[in-house]
Structure 1
Amino acid sequence: MKILVLSFNFQPDLCAGSFRSTALVKALQVKIASSDSIEVLTTTPNRYHSFSNQAPIFEQKDNLIIRRIPLPAHKNSIFGQIFAFTFYAKSVLKYTKKYDYDLIYASSSRLFTALLGAMIARRKPTLLFLDIRDIFSEAVLEAFQKPVFKFFMKIFLVPILKMIEKFSVNTAQHLNLVSEAFADNFKYFKGNISFFTNGIDEVFLKHHFEHTPQNQPQIITYAGNIGNGQGLEKIIPEAAKALEGKYIFNVIGDGNTQKLLAEKLSLLNVRNVNLFKPVSQEKLLDFYQKSDYLFLHLNDAKAFEKVLPSKIFEYGASNKTILAGVNGFARNFIEKNVANVILFKPCNVENLLEKLENHRFSTVNRSDFIEKFSRKTLMDEMSKIILAMIHSPNIEKNVV
């Protein structure tokens, strides 16, 4: 048995896709024989250009092979990402020509990882399992602020993206969606669908969050990507300005709107926001421990009403109050599953200030949430489905 794993990011890279794919590979590795193999085709760590984490180009341990494709230097702009992914895709297509696989797993927030998996699966032909973490054809519109660009994207590019999306999805035999709200987009899919969400990584499960007294001023911490999807520049500068003297914001991360956030903070002369470059998960735990609130925000756009941010699970492993500006499925998920969360309207400074002022500070035990959404448990169940696909005699493979 030979399984191919396509994941643009893989540990030690710092992002949800990396942590998810790594956990799945570990779950698969213990379930297959020593004579079987898993081959991961990924990239050298590149998620944040401001955080360098070295990793070997080639690794082999027992039945696992990891090949990391070195990418040309780029910053995380849209065009930089396109350039980097094109380089990755060409390398993967060239390499996989020589080999056959029993199943391909493709982890896709970027639509083109799914397309890459579909192209290889049809060429061989091979079983395909797609793990869909975002609806790229919808989210891409929010990457462009100017109306003229949005109009061009909506009229010309989005229909093409939807065609690529449909081709990729219809090549797969199994689709996993991290958000149940994504299901409406794939009503045409005739294969099996599962809903394994993002989960809590082991490093957070092992950490014991102490009950610390409130800081004065209190500390609100955000950690993660700083991009169009988060819209931090639309909420943090004005909120922090209004909360000066009472609260300090720590913002840890990088992304294509980090400069915009810094400019807005400077324009408003905000003095209670600290900007930090990305850090390892272990260092992140120290930031969380010293915080009073953990901050989560999604931009106020229809495209983000279906997503389920991985940060919910990371924050949920702590005993801290979560301050979340989300709508749609994420809001419903939090209300149903996560205790001690202050929910406010995205991009609405007044609503955030009102909710925070009326909140009575507390910490909470989220043991039920932690048990239910351990990433190890979720990926263990997903790996069972993948292996069952390989052993099923009734699944048809798509061909060119």
Structure 2
Amino acid sequence: MHVLLLSFYFPPDLSAGSFRMEALVTALQERLGPDSRITVITTRPNRYGSFEALAPAKQIQGGLTVHRIDLPPHQSGMRDQARAFATFAWEARRLVKLERPDAVVATTSRLMTGVLGAWAARNRRAPLYLDIRDIFVDTIGDVLPRRATWLLKPLFSAVEQWAVRSATRVNLVSPGFLPYFQPRYPERSFSVLSNGVDDAFLENRPVPHAQEHKATGPVHVLYAGNLGEGQGLHHILPALARQLGDEVRFTVVGDGGRRVQLQEALAALPRPTVTMLAPVKRAELITLYDQADVLFVHLNDLPAFEKVLPSKLFEYAATGKPIWAGLAGFPAQFTQREIENAAVFNPCDAAGAVAAFRTLRLQTCDRSDFVDKYRRTHIMNRMADDIARIGAGSPA
């Protein structure tokens, strides 16, 4: 079987989509066997301007071929992102026409990679497996100015309909997406396979209660991830640093469109209690997790983010460390229901965040049941089975 996979991000780039597709490729190789072919069309590492990683334009290893497309320099703005995707799509179309796949797989957060996958599947007359990691139509309605939303939302809604209805099988990364998709596409059934816990975070599982915080000295809180409008760290972290003072030392690892704004707000504080670091590779990130007392996650106070399920929750949970989470809607319910020793507060509510922080037990705990339930290898094996079935012409 020949599977063609389209993903804007792929290792060594740093993103949830990148690591998700790496795990899927491994699962497909095991599921399909040595005579299978997997072709990945992706980009050269470009997730963060402050992170550089060398990767060949074409990489062949056994039955796996990875094509990486060079993009023009870009930041986090919509115009830059559109230009970067246009470059990716133009080159990807050329590469797609050289392939004769039995199945096309597209993973998408900003919708357009899914649209590219729908075009590829139709052009090559192959079934499409569509993996949806975000509701782009919902997000632009919350993030963009009203005038732009009025113009763009109907257009992207129509594009979304075409992509979803072109797919043989549609997977959603969050159960919170179902109330959006099911009423719009009542004729479809959706699978729900989340990000899960990557094996990289399971090799040095913590001993429960072995790392209690010292009675003296500040609590070390770590945030690792994107620093964009969706995370809204610039709305909450300066207020928390001001209120907690020397009681807490924050480390922020990441980059994104709101990094400068966050740095400027932190620079105005009377005492520096926040350290900012550039994105790091996963091996270094795991070391930083191990050194922290508490792990922090936050989504902005916007309705679109009440449906998502942050991949960071799975990484954090695997460490056994206390989790301090600014979430609302489905991700808040999931965290409270599924993750022990996690304190949830309403996004952008500094007073509520401080109150939640006081409820945390500053020690590691055993989350083996959570890890076993959401192990990424199990989730990707199920996805690989679905892809193999549609590639073989079986009902989805």
TM-score (norm 1): 0.94
| Distance in structure 2 (CA, Å) of the matches to 1:181 and 1:360 | 28
The Cα shift of 1:184 comes to 2.3
1:298 aligns with 2:293: no
Gaps of 5+ in 2: none
Q: Secondary structure at the match of 2:104?
A: strand
1:198 aligns with 2:200: no
User: Which of 164, 175, 178 is equivalent to 1:180?
Assistant: 175
Structure 2 counterpart of 1:103, one-letter code: A
Structure 2 counterpart of 1:17, one-letter code: G
Q: What are the within-5 Å matches in structure 2 for residues 38-77 of structure 1?
A: 38-77=38-77
Instruction: Tell me the equivalent position of 2:112.
Output: 112
Instruction: Tell me the equivalent position of 1:90.
Output: 90
Q: Is this contact kept in 2: 1:5–1:105, CA < 8 A?
A: yes
Residues 108-139 of structure 1 deviation map (CA, whole Å, 9 limit, x = unaligned): 00100000001111222210000000000111
Instruction: Tell me the equivalent position of 1:398.
Output: none
Instruction: Tell me the equivalent position of 2:280.
Output: 279
| Distance in structure 2 (CA, Å) of the matches to 1:332 and 1:357 | 20
1:390 aligns with 2:391: yes
Q: Secondary structure at the match of 1:200?
A: coil
| Distance in structure 2 (CA, Å) of the matches to 1:362 and 1:213 | 4
Structure 2 counterpart of 1:214, one-letter code: H
Q: Is this contact kept in 1: 2:10–2:42, CA < 8 A?
A: yes
1:132 aligns with 2:129: no
The Cα shift of 1:95 comes to 1.8
| Distance in structure 2 (CA, Å) of the matches to 1:189 and 1:29 | 33
- After TM superposition, the structure 1 stretch with the greater mean CA deviation from structure 2, 50-59 or 186-195, is 186-195
Structure 2 counterpart of 1:202, one-letter code: D
| Distance in structure 1 (CA, Å) of the matches to 2:293 and 2:362 | 9
Structure 2 counterpart of 1:250, one-letter code: T
Instruction: Tell me the equivalent position of 2:102.
Output: 102
- After TM superposition, the structure 1 stretch with the greater mean CA deviation from structure 2, 345-354 or 204-213, is 204-213
Q: What are the within-5 Å matches in structure 2 for residues 310-389 of structure 1?
A: 310-389=311-390
Structure 1 counterpart of 2:187, one-letter code: K
Decide whether aligned partners of structure 1 residues 22 and 358 sit closer, same or farther in structure 2, where only a CA change above 3 A counts.
closer
Q: Is this contact kept in 1: 2:12–2:45, CA < 8 A?
A: yes
1:207 aligns with 2:208: no
The Cα shift of 1:269 comes to 3.7
Residues 269-299 of structure 1 deviation map (CA, whole Å, 9 limit, x = unaligned): 4510000000011111111111110001010
Q: Is this contact kept in 1: 2:213–2:219, CA < 8 A?
A: yes
Structure 1 counterpart of 2:366, one-letter code: N
Structure 1 counterpart of 2:279, one-letter code: P
Instruction: Flag as ranges the 4+ runs of structure 1 deviating above 4 A.
Output: none
Residues 296-352 of structure 1 deviation map (CA, whole Å, 9 limit, x = unaligned): 101011010000000000000011100001011101111221111011111000111
Name the Cα RMSD after superposition: 1.5
Structure 1 counterpart of 2:154, one-letter code: P
| Distance in structure 2 (CA, Å) of the matches to 1:208 and 1:329 | 27
TM-score (norm 2): 0.95
| Distance in structure 2 (CA, Å) of the matches to 1:65 and 1:55 | 13
Gaps of 5+ in 1: 145-149, 396-400
| Distance in structure 2 (CA, Å) of the matches to 1:67 and 1:178 | 25
